[in-house]
Amino acid sequence: MKKATYAFFAFWIIMVAFIFFAPRADASSMYAKPVHCGPELDSLIEAWEDEQLYPLVALGGVAWMPDGTTVASVTFIIVNDDGRNAVVERTSTGYCLLSSGSVVEYNTDTIKEMMEWE
Q: Report how many helices (DSSP H) and strands (DSSP E) the chain contains, helices first.
A: 3, 5
pLDDT reading at 109 higher than 80: yes
| Burial label, 29 (beta-carbon count in 10 A; 0-12, 13-18, 19+) | exposed
Over residues 25-36, the pLDDT tens digits come to 444 444 445 778
pLDDT in tens, 45-75: 888 999 999 999 999 999 888 888 999 999 9
Confidence of residue 1 (pLDDT cuts 50, 70, 90): low
Per-residue HEC secondary structure of 25-61 comes to: CCHHHHHCCCCEEECCCHHHHHHHHHCCCEEEEEEEE
Which comes out higher in pLDDT, residue 24 or 13? 13
Contact of 94 with 73, CB cutoff 8 Å? no
